[in-house]
Structure formats: structure tokens, C-alpha cells
Structure 1
Amino acid sequence: MDKSPKHTVVAAAVVINDHNEILLLNGPKRGWEIPGGRVEEGESITSAVVRETKEETGIDIKINNFCGVFQNVSESVCSNLFLARPIGGEFKTSSESYEIGYFTIEEALDKVNWNSIKEQIRHCVNCKESLIIEFNNFEEIF
């Protein structure tokens, strides 16, 4: 039996508009949350967060900051979090989003039921560092 670790890599974004409101979606699994989802094989983490946000909300984003990684050890999930701003698109619901909207930070934190998502929102809103590095070939850095 293969005992190699198996992890799910996720990319999610706190998207803040010009009115300092956060983009949330109301989905079937967790209720109100920030857009995000699994990184597909052969896809960069930054491409995944842009794609997932578009698929779930209809909104196009530009990433401003990489805010860190949150790990759910019991579920073997590593969530990469980004701070982003909307640059186009229109609200469009999907099977992953029944409702979509922009909310003040206080309203967003009230709507979200999962403490881990609230923590991610608070962390990203306060994220000041900007570090986004992508390598197409890991060997390039050595």
C-alpha cells in the first residue's frame, strides 16, 4: 500500500472592491464564503484562484497579494489565500453559488458561519505583504 501523503491544494481569494466591500458567495456546502477551490493538475495556484472566482461568481479578478497558506491537517488540505480586486465580469450564479454579493467587512463576517473562513477573511484584509512568485519548472531556481 502506498503511504505517500496525499494533499488537496486549494486557492481562494478575498476580493475587495473600490467601496471596501468583500465578495461572497452562498454555496451548497458551507453557506456564505469567499470564492475558491481545488487547483487542477498542471494549473498554477494563481490561475486556479482566478478561474475559480470566475466560475463561482462571474467576476474577473487581479491578484494584489499572496496572504499565506492555511492548513487543515485533519482533512489534508492546504489553502493558498490571496487578496484581489475585481476588474470586470458580472455576477453569475452556478451550482456552487446560489447567491453572490459584495458586503462590508462587518456584514461579511456576520454572514459567514465557518470560523476558519472568518479567520481567513480577517487575515487577508490585514495582509500587507506582496509576494507572488511562480516557477514553470522548479529546477529553474537552483
Structure 2
Amino acid sequence: MTFTPPKHIVSAATIVLNDNGEILLLYGPRRGWEMLGGQVEEGESLTAAAIRETKEETGIDVEIIKFCGIYQNVERSICNTLFLAKPVGGLPTTSPESLDVRYFTVEEALSMVEHNNFRERIVHCLDETTHPFFVEL
């Protein structure tokens, strides 16, 4: 009997709100305007991954404020965790993963994010009455 390691993907995403209530978004080469986040590395905590991915993609250092919830895509074996965060340092900087990095009002951000599932996740994170949420796809 051979052991086959699991092929699950776990990601950590942040909704970063500044003191003006604006959301930090990045403009990526594949998906346009989107929230920040990426895959959790082996041996890394969810919050550490969320902080690292935000810094790598945007140049912004963040502090995690709270855990918002989880989206699970059962068919594709993907588990996306979402956190609310606030900026604590750094300057908006582009990277190979981001062609542009900017803060937007919530209204502007929701109108600019093209992917419905990303918009839905932002709305869920901003609505504290839904926390913690679990959405199974």
C-alpha cells in the first residue's frame, strides 16, 4: 500500500482597510483588479501567509484584525481563508503579480473587481454579521 499525499490547496487572502475605510486592491495580469492573497506554504500559518502574500504583492505591511471565514471548492480541493487586515507600514509597490496597487472606496472597489466570486468575498468580509462564514462550492 503506497501513501499518496493530499493534493489540497489552501490559500489565505486579506481585505485590507485603511483608516479612511478604503480597500487595497491589486491589478493583476490575469484577473484584473482583485483582493490580495495566495497559497499557504508548507509549515506556514494561515495568518503568516496572508501577511506575506500581501507584502509580496503590494509592498504593504499589514496586521491581521480578524478571521472572516472560509470558501471551500470541494471539486477542485481548494480552501480559501479570508482575513480582515489594516496597513501598518510599507508603500504601495508593484510586483510580478501586480501591475498596479491602489486604495479605493468600497463602492469603487466593488465596481472594479470583475470576478463575481472575488466581489462576493469582499462583501462577506465587510459584513461582520456573517462572520465567521463557511461557503461550500
TM-score w.r.t. structure 1 length? 0.86
Look up the SS of the partner of 2:56 in the other structure. Answer: helix
Distance (Å, rounded) in 2 between the aligned partners of 1:69 and 1:21: 23
Runs of 4 or more above 3 Å deviation: 1-5, 128-131
More strand by percentage = 2
* Aligned counterparts, 1:3-14, within 5 A: 5-14=6-15
Matches within 5 A, 1:25-64: 25-64=26-65
RMSD of the TM alignment (CA)?
1.8
Q: Which amino acid aligns with 1:8?
A: I
CA distance in structure 2 between the partners assigned to 1:98 and 1:57 by the alignment: 10
Q: Which residue in the other structure is 1:99 paired with? A: 100
CA–CA distance in 2 between the matches of 1:105 and 1:51? 23
| Residue matched to 1:136 | none
| CA distance in structure 2 between the partners assigned to 1:100 and 1:85 by the alignment | 15
TM-aligned CA distance change 1:106 to 1:130, over 3 Å: closer
The aligned amino acid for 1:98 is: L
- TM score, norm. by length of structure 2: 0.89
Q: Which residue of 2 aligns with 1:114?
A: 115
In the alignment, structure 2 segments of 5+ residues that lack a partner are 133-137
Deviations 1:40-81 (A, max 9, x none): 001111000000000000000011110011112232211000
Unaligned runs of 5+ in 1: 132-142
Give the structure 1 partner of residue 135 of structure 2: none
Residue type of the partner of 1:57? T
Aligned residue for 2:128, secondary structure, equals: coil
Identity %: 56
Please say if residues 66 and 129 of structure 1, whose CA atoms lie closer than 8 Å, have aligned partners that are also in contact: no
Partner of 1:137: none
